[in-house]
């Protein structure tokens, strides 16, 4: 009998998520405080759950249109128009997906030919580069750093530009750094894309989790609309991670091709989740504002705590992550995170899991209670105090 042929090289060469390793270790231990999970600790608001239950009681268990429920797409279109003055037709410019993850996957498969390059400012969400690779593209890291508050430097984008560059992939507010990008910087990125005929893929899943200033919706910028694919969803703002409802908006010709891939591979997002999302966007705004207020309080507790310990931490403007530096300890981010987990039972994620610029930092989520944050900080302080002082 002949040996089984090998699996696809591109799949076999994918790195294991740097986040998952620490989750798996933490799950096997007792008394662990996890600051690693990028998930709201709130339960989905009751009226959203009730809408889903009611839809099941009415026997609404069928497929929907490949595009998604038209009433949900209309509400999303009205939301984007009212909040950001960006107009998308519900009929052919808004596609309901199984989370932002599916939307990003099919968008990349829509625009990339084998070997096309995508510029990816880092640190960034761990899935961005693997998704580019799985679509046949080549991810090209463009480093940002703490000195500049992780701002995109257009000159660095330009330095990585080649004849194969096809797109720029960004996500703000940022996972993992919590930074938002100034409107002026994003406008510079759009001009750079215009000059070079590039697509912009903008993941704005944390758009409602803003504490300082206002969110800039990328397609609202001059010159951006016709080249931008916008991703968003219900996971973060409405505490609906497990419902897996996202949406993608963009130029009609791009969306038509994305819908074909979606129809062959996913068919449609679950109707129950879509019914829940419809209720969320119609009635759950007070809950969103309450959650954002609570995140804001937790943010201050965490950032003040890290700075008091001597681990410099900038104040994140959005999302629910702090990104403190551990350089002062003399440990690498990986060693710090591993030792902290085993010695003090606090789970964090080393910044290197998120690519270039993450070295010397750890990602900590404040999507957990103030009590747990304070206890975690007490343990981290004890851990740091027991370390030998680095020699200069």
Query: What mean pLDDT do residues 265-285 have?
Result: 98
Closest CA to 360 of 340, 342, 334: 334
Contacts (Cβ under 8 Å, ≥6 apart) of 163? none
Tens-place pLDDT, residues 348-366: 999 999 998 899 999 999 9
Tens-place pLDDT, residues 196-240: 999 999 999 999 999 989 999 999 999 999 999 999 999 999 999
Q: Determine contact, residues 143/356, Cβ cutoff 8 Å.
A: yes
Tokens of 118: 């995508």
Q: Beta strand pairing status for 33-34 and 346-347?
A: parallel
- The answer, yes or no, to whether residue 15 has pLDDT greater than 70, is yes
Q: What is the DSSP letter of 143?
A: E
Q: What is the mean pLDDT of the chain?
A: 95
User: Which residues, listed in sequence order, are joined to residue 203 by a DSSP beta bridge?
Assistant: 171, 231
Tens-place pLDDT, residues 56-99: 999 999 999 999 999 999 999 999 999 999 999 999 999 999 99
Which pLDDT does position 233 carry in this prediction?
98
Which pLDDT does position 111 carry in this prediction?
98
**H helix or E strand, kind and range, residue 118:** strand 117-122
- The answer, yes or no, to whether residue 392 has pLDDT greater than 70, is no
Which pLDDT does position 243 carry in this prediction?
97
Tens-place pLDDT, residues 233-260: 999 999 999 999 999 999 999 999 999 9
Query: What mean pLDDT do residues 271-299 have?
Result: 98
Which pLDDT does position 390 carry in this prediction?
67
Q: Determine contact, residues 216/183, Cβ cutoff 8 Å.
A: yes
Query: What mean pLDDT do residues 264-290 have?
Result: 98
- The answer, yes or no, to whether residue 151 has pLDDT greater than 70, is yes
Closest CA to 66 of 243, 221, 241, 265: 265
Q: Beta strand pairing status for 117-122 and 165-171?
A: parallel
pTM: 0.95
How many helices and strands in the chain, by DSSP H and E?
13, 12
Q: C-alpha distances in angstroms, 179 versus 139, 164, 207, 314?
A: 22, 29, 12, 9
Query: What mean pLDDT do residues 341-353 have?
Result: 95
Instruction: Please name the residue ranges forming H helices in 142-182.
Output: 154-159
Tens-place pLDDT, residues 108-123: 999 999 999 999 999 9
How many CA within 13 A on the CB side of residue 313? 28
Distance CA 346, CA 339 (A): 9
Which pLDDT does position 388 carry in this prediction?
87
Q: What domains does the chain contain, in order, with CATH numbers?
A: 15-44+286-386 (3.90.1150.10), 46-283 (3.40.640.10)
Tens-place pLDDT, residues 20-61: 776 777 777 788 999 988 889 999 999 999 999 999 999 999
CB-neighbour burial class of residue 99 (10 A; exposed 0-12, middle 13-18, buried 19+): buried
Query: What mean pLDDT do residues 157-164 have?
Result: 98
């Amino acid at each position: 009998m002949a040996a089984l042929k090998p699996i696809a090289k591109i799949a076999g060469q994918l790195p294991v998520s740097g986040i998952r390793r620490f989750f798996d270790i933490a799950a096997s231990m007792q008394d662990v405080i996890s600051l690693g999970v990028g998930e709201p600790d709130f339960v989905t608001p009751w009226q959203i759950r009730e809408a889903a239950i009611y839809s099941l009681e009415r026997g609404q268990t069928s497929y929907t249109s490949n595009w998604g429920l038209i009433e949900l797409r209309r509400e999303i279109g009205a939301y984007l128009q009212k909040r950001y003055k960006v107009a998308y037709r519900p009929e052919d410019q808004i596609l309901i997906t199984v989370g932002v993850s599916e939307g990003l996957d099919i968008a990349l498969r829509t625009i990339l030919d084998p070997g096309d390059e995508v510029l990816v400012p880092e640190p960034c969400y761990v899935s961005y580069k693997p998704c580019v690779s799985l679509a046949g593209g080549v991810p090209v890291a463009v480093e940002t750093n703490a000195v500049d508050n992780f701002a995109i430097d257009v000159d660095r984008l330009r330095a990585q530009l080649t004849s194969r560059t096809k797109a720029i992939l960004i996500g703000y507010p940022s996972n993992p750094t919590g930074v938002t990008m100034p409107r002026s910087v994003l406008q510079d990125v759009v001009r750079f894309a215009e000059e070079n005929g590039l697509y912009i893929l903008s993941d704005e899943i944390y758009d409602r989790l803003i504490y300082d200033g206002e969110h800039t919706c990328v397609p609202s910028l001059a010159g951006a609309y016709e080249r931008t694919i916008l991703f968003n969803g219900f996971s973060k703002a409405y505490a609906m991670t497990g419902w897996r409802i996202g949406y993608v908006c963009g130029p009609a010709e791009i969306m038509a091709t994305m819908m074909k891939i979606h129809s062959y591979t996913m068919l449609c997002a679950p109707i129950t989740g879509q019914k829940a999302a419809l209720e969320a966007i119609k009635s759950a705004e007070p809950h969103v504002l309450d959650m954002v207020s609570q995140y804001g309080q937790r943010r201050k507790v965490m950032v003040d705590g890290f700075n008091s310990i001597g681990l410099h931490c900038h104040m994140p403007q959005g999302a629910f992550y702090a990104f403190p530096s551990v350089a002062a300890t003399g440990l690498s981010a990986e060693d710090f995170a591993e030792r902290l987990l085993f010695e003090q039972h606090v789970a964090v994620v080393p910044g290197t899991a998120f690519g270039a610029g993450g070295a010397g930092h750890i990602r900590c989520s404040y999507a957990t209670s103030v009590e747990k944050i304070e206890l975690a900080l007490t343990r981290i302080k004890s851990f740091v105090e027991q370390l030998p002082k680095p020699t200069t």
